[in-house]
Chains A and B, each alone.
Chain A
Amino acid sequence: DAGVTQSPTHLIKTRGQQVTLRCSPKSGHDTVSWYQQALGQGPQFIFQYYEEEERQRGNFPDRFSGHQFPNYSSELNVNALLLGDSALYLCASRSYGQGLHGYTFGSGTRLTVV
Protein backbone atom coordinates (compact mmCIF):
# COMPACT_ATOMS: atom_id res chain seq x y z
CA ASP A 1 0.00 0.00 0.00
CA ALA A 2 1.75 3.11 -1.24
CA GLY A 3 1.95 5.97 1.17
CA VAL A 4 2.12 9.62 0.22
CA THR A 5 4.29 10.17 -2.84
CA GLN A 6 5.95 13.49 -3.59
CA SER A 7 7.91 14.63 -6.60
CA PRO A 8 10.51 15.74 -7.27
CA THR A 9 12.62 14.88 -4.24
CA HIS A 10 15.05 17.72 -4.80
CA LEU A 11 14.83 20.90 -6.83
CA ILE A 12 17.06 23.90 -7.42
CA LYS A 13 15.50 27.09 -8.74
CA THR A 14 16.65 30.63 -9.35
CA ARG A 15 15.17 33.57 -7.50
CA GLY A 16 12.14 34.94 -9.35
CA GLN A 17 11.28 31.64 -11.02
CA GLN A 18 8.18 29.59 -10.49
CA VAL A 19 7.99 26.02 -9.17
CA THR A 20 5.39 23.25 -9.06
CA LEU A 21 5.54 20.44 -6.55
CA ARG A 22 3.39 17.34 -6.79
CA CYS A 23 1.77 15.02 -4.29
CA SER A 24 -0.15 11.77 -4.60
CA PRO A 25 -2.05 10.95 -1.42
CA LYS A 26 -2.18 7.62 0.30
CA SER A 27 -4.74 5.26 -1.15
CA GLY A 28 -8.13 5.93 0.39
CA HIS A 29 -7.27 9.48 1.46
CA ASP A 30 -9.12 12.46 0.02
CA THR A 31 -7.66 15.43 1.87
CA VAL A 32 -4.24 16.89 1.18
CA SER A 33 -2.33 19.45 3.21
CA TRP A 34 0.95 21.15 2.42
CA TYR A 35 3.59 22.24 4.90
CA GLN A 36 6.81 24.21 4.65
CA GLN A 37 9.65 23.17 6.92
CA ALA A 38 12.61 25.52 7.07
CA LEU A 39 15.90 24.18 8.34
CA GLY A 40 15.80 23.73 12.10
CA GLN A 41 12.12 24.61 12.36
CA GLY A 42 8.86 22.78 12.74
CA PRO A 43 6.54 22.36 9.75
CA GLN A 44 4.36 25.38 8.98
CA PHE A 45 0.88 24.84 7.56
CA ILE A 46 0.41 26.30 4.07
CA PHE A 47 -3.05 25.12 3.02
CA GLN A 48 -5.40 22.19 2.83
CA TYR A 49 -7.42 20.86 -0.11
CA TYR A 50 -10.57 18.79 -0.06
CA GLU A 51 -13.01 18.18 -2.90
CA GLU A 52 -10.74 20.18 -5.18
CA GLU A 53 -11.13 23.33 -3.12
CA GLU A 54 -8.81 25.14 -0.75
CA ARG A 55 -10.44 24.68 2.64
CA GLN A 56 -8.02 26.32 5.03
CA ARG A 57 -4.94 28.43 4.62
CA GLY A 58 -2.05 29.31 6.85
CA ASN A 59 -0.14 32.56 6.97
CA PHE A 60 1.45 32.38 3.53
CA PRO A 61 1.34 34.98 0.73
CA ASP A 62 -0.64 34.59 -2.45
CA ARG A 63 2.54 33.53 -4.23
CA PHE A 64 1.72 30.13 -2.79
CA SER A 65 -1.16 28.48 -4.57
CA GLY A 66 -2.39 24.99 -5.06
CA HIS A 67 -4.70 22.67 -6.82
CA GLN A 68 -6.35 19.34 -6.19
CA PHE A 69 -7.37 17.04 -8.99
CA PRO A 70 -10.34 14.65 -9.18
CA ASN A 71 -8.05 11.74 -8.29
CA TYR A 72 -7.16 13.62 -5.06
CA SER A 73 -3.58 14.33 -6.10
CA SER A 74 -2.38 17.85 -5.52
CA GLU A 75 0.08 20.46 -6.68
CA LEU A 76 1.75 23.29 -4.83
CA ASN A 77 2.81 26.25 -6.93
CA VAL A 78 5.12 28.99 -5.77
CA ASN A 79 5.61 32.07 -7.93
CA ALA A 80 8.34 34.70 -7.83
CA LEU A 81 10.60 32.55 -5.71
CA LEU A 82 12.56 34.17 -2.92
CA LEU A 83 15.67 32.89 -1.22
CA GLY A 84 13.57 32.45 1.91
CA ASP A 85 11.37 29.92 0.13
CA SER A 86 14.19 27.41 0.39
CA ALA A 87 12.81 24.64 2.57
CA LEU A 88 11.51 21.10 2.75
CA TYR A 89 7.94 20.99 1.49
CA LEU A 90 5.86 18.23 2.99
CA CYS A 91 2.59 16.87 1.76
CA ALA A 92 0.25 15.07 4.15
CA SER A 93 -2.96 13.23 3.39
CA ARG A 94 -5.87 11.88 5.39
CA SER A 95 -9.49 10.90 5.07
CA TYR A 96 -11.79 13.84 5.64
CA GLY A 97 -13.19 13.84 9.15
CA GLN A 98 -10.15 12.21 10.69
CA GLY A 99 -8.04 14.23 13.02
CA LEU A 100 -4.33 14.71 12.75
CA HIS A 101 -4.03 11.12 13.85
CA GLY A 102 -5.05 10.16 10.35
CA TYR A 103 -2.36 12.19 8.60
CA THR A 104 0.31 10.42 6.61
CA PHE A 105 3.29 12.52 5.56
CA GLY A 106 5.30 12.17 2.39
CA SER A 107 9.07 12.28 2.30
CA GLY A 108 9.05 15.84 1.05
CA THR A 109 10.56 17.94 -1.71
CA ARG A 110 13.73 19.81 -0.84
CA LEU A 111 13.58 23.17 -2.65
CA THR A 112 16.69 25.29 -2.88
CA VAL A 113 16.39 28.81 -4.28
CA VAL A 114 19.65 30.39 -5.43
Chain B
Amino acid sequence: ELKVEQNPLFLSMQEGKNYTIYCNYSTTSDRLYWYRQDPGKSLESLFVLLSNGAVKQEGRLMASLDTKARLSTLHITAAVHDLSATYFCATGGSYIPTFGRGTSLIVHP
Protein backbone atom coordinates (compact mmCIF):
# COMPACT_ATOMS: atom_id res chain seq x y z
CA GLU B 1 0.00 0.00 0.00
CA LEU B 2 1.38 3.36 -1.04
CA LYS B 3 1.90 5.75 1.84
CA VAL B 4 2.68 9.43 1.53
CA GLU B 5 4.00 11.25 4.57
CA GLN B 6 4.45 14.96 4.89
CA ASN B 7 6.27 16.87 7.55
CA PRO B 8 5.80 19.06 9.29
CA LEU B 9 2.00 18.91 9.49
CA PHE B 10 1.85 22.40 10.93
CA LEU B 11 4.20 25.26 10.21
CA SER B 12 4.07 28.74 11.64
CA MET B 13 6.65 31.10 10.23
CA GLN B 14 7.41 34.78 10.02
CA GLU B 15 7.33 36.77 6.86
CA GLY B 16 10.70 36.89 5.17
CA LYS B 17 11.88 33.53 6.47
CA ASN B 18 12.72 30.40 4.50
CA TYR B 19 11.47 26.90 5.17
CA THR B 20 11.12 23.48 3.57
CA ILE B 21 8.24 21.01 3.58
CA TYR B 22 9.15 17.36 3.09
CA CYS B 23 7.17 14.63 1.34
CA ASN B 24 8.22 10.98 1.60
CA TYR B 25 6.47 8.20 -0.25
CA SER B 26 6.75 4.47 0.21
CA THR B 27 6.80 2.96 -3.27
CA THR B 28 8.28 3.90 -6.61
CA SER B 29 6.27 6.40 -8.59
CA ASP B 30 6.94 8.27 -11.79
CA ARG B 31 5.25 11.49 -10.81
CA LEU B 32 4.87 13.73 -7.79
CA TYR B 33 2.46 16.60 -7.43
CA TRP B 34 2.09 19.55 -5.13
CA TYR B 35 -1.27 21.17 -4.48
CA ARG B 36 -2.36 24.17 -2.49
CA GLN B 37 -5.67 24.41 -0.66
CA ASP B 38 -7.05 27.57 0.92
CA PRO B 39 -9.57 27.18 3.78
CA GLY B 40 -12.93 26.03 2.45
CA LYS B 41 -11.63 25.96 -1.09
CA SER B 42 -10.67 23.33 -3.59
CA LEU B 43 -7.22 22.12 -4.63
CA GLU B 44 -5.02 24.23 -6.85
CA SER B 45 -2.26 22.49 -8.77
CA LEU B 46 1.17 23.98 -8.10
CA PHE B 47 3.74 21.62 -9.59
CA VAL B 48 4.09 18.28 -11.29
CA LEU B 49 7.51 16.59 -11.12
CA LEU B 50 8.11 13.78 -13.56
CA SER B 51 11.72 12.71 -13.24
CA ASN B 52 14.54 12.26 -10.79
CA GLY B 53 16.23 15.55 -10.09
CA ALA B 54 13.35 17.59 -11.45
CA VAL B 55 13.14 21.09 -10.03
CA LYS B 56 10.36 23.58 -10.66
CA GLN B 57 9.94 27.10 -9.36
CA GLU B 58 7.04 29.49 -9.26
CA GLY B 59 7.51 32.73 -7.40
CA ARG B 60 8.60 32.01 -3.83
CA LEU B 61 7.96 28.26 -4.12
CA MET B 62 10.39 25.70 -5.46
CA ALA B 63 9.74 21.97 -5.64
CA SER B 64 12.25 19.19 -6.21
CA LEU B 65 12.14 15.42 -6.59
CA ASP B 66 14.58 12.67 -5.63
CA THR B 67 13.06 9.41 -6.83
CA LYS B 68 15.88 7.31 -5.40
CA ALA B 69 15.21 8.63 -1.92
CA ARG B 70 11.45 8.76 -2.61
CA LEU B 71 11.50 12.32 -1.38
CA SER B 72 10.14 15.59 -2.63
CA THR B 73 10.63 18.98 -1.06
CA LEU B 74 8.72 22.22 -1.32
CA HIS B 75 10.96 25.14 -0.42
CA ILE B 76 9.52 28.49 0.57
CA THR B 77 11.72 31.53 0.12
CA ALA B 78 11.09 34.80 1.94
CA ALA B 79 7.58 33.84 2.96
CA VAL B 80 4.71 36.30 2.64
CA HIS B 81 1.26 36.19 4.25
CA ASP B 82 -0.40 35.24 0.96
CA LEU B 83 1.35 31.87 1.09
CA SER B 84 -0.71 30.87 4.13
CA ALA B 85 -2.59 27.72 3.08
CA THR B 86 -2.43 23.94 3.30
CA TYR B 87 0.02 22.26 0.95
CA PHE B 88 -0.43 18.67 -0.20
CA CYS B 89 1.89 16.37 -2.05
CA ALA B 90 0.44 13.44 -3.99
CA THR B 91 1.81 10.55 -5.98
CA GLY B 92 0.71 7.19 -7.31
CA GLY B 93 0.37 4.99 -10.33
CA SER B 94 -2.47 4.50 -12.81
CA TYR B 95 -3.13 8.21 -12.53
CA ILE B 96 -4.83 7.66 -9.18
CA PRO B 97 -3.16 9.92 -6.65
CA THR B 98 -2.49 9.17 -3.04
CA PHE B 99 -2.30 12.34 -1.00
CA GLY B 100 -0.34 13.16 2.10
CA ARG B 101 -2.11 14.64 5.12
CA GLY B 102 -1.05 18.12 4.15
CA THR B 103 1.08 20.82 5.76
CA SER B 104 -0.85 23.72 7.22
CA LEU B 105 1.28 26.84 6.75
CA ILE B 106 0.64 30.10 8.55
CA VAL B 107 2.83 33.08 7.75
CA HIS B 108 2.85 35.82 10.38
CA PRO B 109 3.71 39.46 9.73
Residue numbers of A with Cβ under 8 A of B are: 33, 40-45, 48, 56, 58, 90, 92, 94, 98-101, 103, 105-108
Does B97 have its Cβ within 8 Å of any Cβ on chain A?
Answer: yes
Residue numbers of B with Cβ under 8 A of A are: 4, 31, 33, 41-45, 48, 88, 90, 92, 94-102
- Inter-subunit contact B48/A48 (CB<8 Å): no
Q: Which residue of A lies closest to B32 (CB)?
A: A100
Least Cβ–Cβ distance between A60 and chain B, in angstroms: 13
- Inter-subunit contact A108/B42 (CB<8 Å): yes
Cα A10 to Cα B102 with chains together (Å): 23
Q: List 22 A-B contacts (CB under 8 A).
A: A33-B96, A40-B102, A41-B101, A41-B102, A42-B4, A42-B99, A42-B101, A45-B98, A48-B96, A58-B96, A98-B95, A99-B48, A100-B90, A100-B95, A101-B31, A101-B33, A101-B45, A103-B97, A105-B44, A106-B42, A107-B42, A108-B42
Cα A33 to Cα B94 with chains together (Å): 13
Cα A56 to Cα B92 with chains together (Å): 13
- Inter-subunit contact B95/A42 (CB<8 Å): no
Contact of A105 among B31, B43, B94, B101 (CB under 8 A): B43
Q: Of A41, A90, A100, A103, which is in contact with the most chain B CB atoms at under 10 Å from its CB?
A: A100
Q: Of A41, A90, A101, A106, which is in contact with the most chain B CB atoms at under 10 Å from its CB?
A: A101
Cα A111 to Cα B109 with chains together (Å): 34
- Inter-subunit contact A42/B96 (CB<8 Å): no
- Inter-subunit contact B42/A105 (CB<8 Å): yes
Please name all residues of chain B whose beta carbon is closer than 8 Å to the beta carbon of A41 when the two chains form the complex: 101-102
Please name all residues of chain B whose beta carbon is closer than 8 Å to the beta carbon of A44 when the two chains form the complex: 99
- Inter-subunit contact A56/B33 (CB<8 Å): no
Please name all residues of chain B whose beta carbon is closer than 8 Å to the beta carbon of A101 when the two chains form the complex: 31, 33, 45, 48
Please name all residues of chain B whose beta carbon is closer than 8 Å to the beta carbon of A42 when the two chains form the complex: 4, 88, 90, 99-102
Please name all residues of chain B whose beta carbon is closer than 8 Å to the beta carbon of A56 when the two chains form the complex: 94, 96
Q: Knowing A100-B48, A103-B45, A105-B43 are in contact, say whether A45-B31 is a contact too (CB < 8 A).
A: no
Cα A44 to Cα B49 with chains together (Å): 21
Q: Which 8 A-B pairs have the closest CB atoms?
A: A42-B99, A101-B48, A105-B43, A105-B42, A107-B42, A100-B97, A42-B101, A43-B99
